[in-house]
Chains A and B, each alone.
Chain A
Amino acid sequence: MINQTAAAMSEALVKGEVTSTQLTQAHLDRISDVDTSVKAFLHVDAEGALAQAARVDADRSSGKKLHPLAGIPLALKDVLTQDGIPTTAGSKILQGWKPQYDSTVVSKIKEAGIVILGKTNMDEFAMGSSTENSAYGPTFNPWDLSRTPGGSSGGSAAAVSAFEAPLAIGSDTGGSIRQPAALTGIVGVRPTYGAVSRYGLIAYSSSLDQAGPFGRTVLDTALLHDVMAGHDPKDATSINGKFPDVVSAAQKRDVKGLKIGVIKQLQGEGYQKGVQARFDESLQVLASLGAEIIEVDCPSFEYALAAYYLIAPSECSSNLARFDAMRYGLRVGDSDGASAEAVMSATRNAGFGHEVKRRIILGAYALSSGYYDAYYGSAQKIRTLIIQDYAKAFAQADVLVSPTAPTTAFKIGEKSNDPIAMYLGDVATIPVNLAGICGMSLPAGLADEDGLPVGFQIMAPAMCDDRLYNVGGALEAALASQWGGHLISKAPALGGSK
Chain B
Amino acid sequence: MAISYDEVVAKYDPVLGLEVHVELNTESKMFCSCSTVFGGEPNTQTCPVCLALPGALPVVNARAIESTIKIGLALNCQIAPYSRFARKNYFYPDMPKNFQISQYDEPICFDGYVDVEIDTDEGLKEFRIEVERVHMEEDTGKSLHVGGATGRIHGADYSLLDYNRAGIPLVEIVTKIVPGTGKYAPEVARAYVAELRDILRGLGVSDVKMEQGSLRCDANVSLKPMGSDVLGTRSETKNVNSLRSVERAIRGEMIRHAELLDAGAKVKQETRHFQEDTGLTRSGRSKEQAEDYRYFPEPDLVPVAPDAAWIEELRKALPERPSLRRKRLKQEWNVPDKEMAAMVNADVLDIVEATVVLGADPTKARSWWLGEISRIANDKEVSVTELAITPADVAEIVALVNKGELTDKLARQVVEGVVAGEGTPAEVVAKRGIKVVNDDGALMAAIEKVCSEQPDTAQKVRDGHIPAAGALIGAVMKETKGQADAARVRELLLGHLGQPVN
State whether B99 touches A206 (Cβ < 8 A).
no
Shortest B148–chain A CB gap in Å is 12
- Count of A interface residues, CB-CB < 8 Å: 44
- On chain B, the residues within 8 Å of A367 by CB distance are 89, 294-296
Given A81-B55, A99-B55, A103-B55: A326 and B296 interface contact (C-beta under 8 Å) = no
B444 interfacial contact with A, CB 8 Å: no
B302 interfacial contact with A, CB 8 Å: yes
Query: Quick one: closest A residue to B293, CB to CB?
Result: A369
State whether B48 touches A97 (Cβ < 8 A).
no
State whether A199 touches B56 (Cβ < 8 A).
yes
State whether B300 touches A341 (Cβ < 8 A).
no
Query: Quick one: closest B residue to A93, CB to CB?
Result: B54
Q: Which of B21-29, B90-98, B117-125, B130-138 contacts A (4 or more CB under 8 A)?
A: B90-98
- On chain A, the residues within 8 Å of B93 by CB distance are 324, 326, 340, 344
B165 interfacial contact with A, CB 8 Å: no
- On chain B, the residues within 8 Å of A99 by CB distance are 48, 53-55
State whether B292 touches A368 (Cβ < 8 A).
yes
- On chain B, the residues within 8 Å of A321 by CB distance are 89, 91, 97-99
Contact with A along B147-161 (1 / 0, CB 8 A): 000000000000101
- On chain B, the residues within 8 Å of A207 by CB distance are 299
State whether A202 touches B296 (Cβ < 8 A).
no
- Count of B interface residues, CB-CB < 8 Å: 29
Query: Quick one: closest B residue to A336, CB to CB?
Result: B157
B58 interfacial contact with A, CB 8 Å: yes
Contact with A along B471-499 (1 / 0, CB 8 A): 00000000000000000000000000000
Task: Provide the main secondary structure of the chain B interface.
Answer: loop
Shortest A290–chain B CB gap in Å is 40
A123 interfacial contact with B, CB 8 Å: no
Contact with B along A186-221 (1 / 0, CB 8 A): 000000000000111111011100000000000000
Q: Which of A91-121 contact B (CB under 8 A)?
A: 94, 97, 99-101, 103
Tell which of B56, B98, B294 touches A368, judged by Cβ atoms closer than 8 Å: B294
Q: Which of B87, B89, B292, B296 is most buried by chain A, counting CB atoms within 10 A of its CB?
A: B296
Shortest B210–chain A CB gap in Å is 29
CA distance A318 to B55 in the complex (A): 13
Shortest B179–chain A CB gap in Å is 28
B468 interfacial contact with A, CB 8 Å: no
B60 interfacial contact with A, CB 8 Å: yes
B146 interfacial contact with A, CB 8 Å: no
Q: Which of A317, A321, A368 is most buried by chain B, counting CB atoms within 10 A of its CB?
A: A321
CA distance A89 to B98 in the complex (A): 19
State whether A101 touches B48 (Cβ < 8 A).
yes
- On chain A, the residues within 8 Å of B294 by CB distance are 317-318, 364, 367-369, 372
State whether B97 touches A198 (Cβ < 8 A).
no
- On chain A, the residues within 8 Å of B292 by CB distance are 368-369
B351 interfacial contact with A, CB 8 Å: no
Contact with B along A303-322 (1 / 0, CB 8 A): 00000000000110110011
Given A236-B300, A340-B159, A344-B91: A322 and B54 interface contact (C-beta under 8 Å) = yes
- On chain B, the residues within 8 Å of A364 by CB distance are 294
Contact with A along B52-85 (1 / 0, CB 8 A): 1111111110000000000000000000000000
Q: Which of B104-127 contact A (CB under 8 A)?
A: none
Given A318-B99, A318-B294, A372-B296: A341 and B59 interface contact (C-beta under 8 Å) = no
CA distance A100 to B161 in the complex (A): 19
B51 interfacial contact with A, CB 8 Å: yes
- On chain B, the residues within 8 Å of A200 by CB distance are 55-56
State whether A322 touches B57 (Cβ < 8 A).
no
Query: Quick one: closest A residue to B92, CB to CB?
Result: A340
- On chain B, the residues within 8 Å of A317 by CB distance are 89, 294
A271 interfacial contact with B, CB 8 Å: no
A327 interfacial contact with B, CB 8 Å: yes
Shortest A127–chain B CB gap in Å is 15
Given A201-B55, A369-B292: A318 and B87 interface contact (C-beta under 8 Å) = yes
Shortest A108–chain B CB gap in Å is 15
B194 interfacial contact with A, CB 8 Å: no
B340 interfacial contact with A, CB 8 Å: no
Contact with B along A222-235 (1 / 0, CB 8 A): 00000000000111
- On chain A, the residues within 8 Å of B159 by CB distance are 340
B434 interfacial contact with A, CB 8 Å: no
A376 interfacial contact with B, CB 8 Å: yes
State whether B55 touches A202 (Cβ < 8 A).
yes
State whether A234 touches B55 (Cβ < 8 A).
no
A5 interfacial contact with B, CB 8 Å: no
State whether A328 touches B89 (Cβ < 8 A).
no
Q: Which of B381-421 contact A (CB under 8 A)?
A: none
State whether B87 touches A236 (Cβ < 8 A).
no
CA distance A327 to B47 in the complex (A): 12
Shortest A433–chain B CB gap in Å is 13
Query: Quick one: closest B residue to A348, CB to CB?
Result: B91
B301 interfacial contact with A, CB 8 Å: yes
Q: Which of B18-58 contact A (CB under 8 A)?
A: 48, 51-58
A396 interfacial contact with B, CB 8 Å: no
State whether B52 touches A322 (Cβ < 8 A).
yes
Shortest B106–chain A CB gap in Å is 14
State whether B302 touches A236 (Cβ < 8 A).
yes
- On chain B, the residues within 8 Å of A457 by CB distance are none
- On chain A, the residues within 8 Å of B52 by CB distance are 322, 327
A330 interfacial contact with B, CB 8 Å: no
State whether A236 touches B57 (Cβ < 8 A).
yes
State whether B54 touches A87 (Cβ < 8 A).
yes
A31 interfacial contact with B, CB 8 Å: no
State whether B98 touches A235 (Cβ < 8 A).
no
A298 interfacial contact with B, CB 8 Å: no
Shortest B466–chain A CB gap in Å is 81
- On chain B, the residues within 8 Å of A205 by CB distance are 299
State whether B161 touches A326 (Cβ < 8 A).
yes
Tell which of A201, A236, A328 touches B53, judged by Cβ atoms closer than 8 Å: A328
State whether B300 touches A206 (Cβ < 8 A).
yes
State whether A233 touches B296 (Cβ < 8 A).
no
State whether B54 touches A234 (Cβ < 8 A).
no
Shortest B178–chain A CB gap in Å is 27
CA distance A207 to B54 in the complex (A): 16
CA distance A232 to B296 in the complex (A): 25
CA distance A201 to B292 in the complex (A): 28
Query: Quick one: closest A residue to B32, CB to CB?
Result: A234
Q: Which of A336-353 contact B (CB under 8 A)?
A: 340-341, 344
- On chain A, the residues within 8 Å of B295 by CB distance are 367, 372
A409 interfacial contact with B, CB 8 Å: no
Shortest A385–chain B CB gap in Å is 18
A80 interfacial contact with B, CB 8 Å: yes
State whether B57 touches A80 (Cβ < 8 A).
no
Tell which of A199, A314, A315, A340 touches B57, judged by Cβ atoms closer than 8 Å: A199
Given A101-B53, A103-B55, A322-B98: A236 and B60 interface contact (C-beta under 8 Å) = yes
Query: Quick one: closest A residue to B294, CB to CB?
Result: A367
State whether A234 touches B57 (Cβ < 8 A).
yes
State whether B59 touches A233 (Cβ < 8 A).
yes
Return 7 A-B CB contacts under 8 Å, by A number. A103-B55, A198-B57, A203-B54, A315-B299, A328-B53, A340-B93, A367-B294
The 5 A-B residue pairs with the shortest CB-CB distance, nearest first, are A321-B98, A206-B299, A367-B294, A207-B299, A200-B55
Known: A99-B55, A315-B299, A326-B96. 14 other contacts (CB 8 A): A99-B48, A101-B48, A198-B55, A201-B55, A234-B57, A235-B59, A236-B301, A318-B99, A321-B91, A321-B97, A326-B161, A328-B53, A367-B295, A372-B296
Q: Chain A interface (Cβ within 8 Å of chain B)?
A: 80-81, 87, 89, 94, 97, 99-101, 103, 198-203, 205-207, 233-237, 314-315, 317-318, 321-324, 326-328, 340-341, 344, 364, 367-369, 372, 376
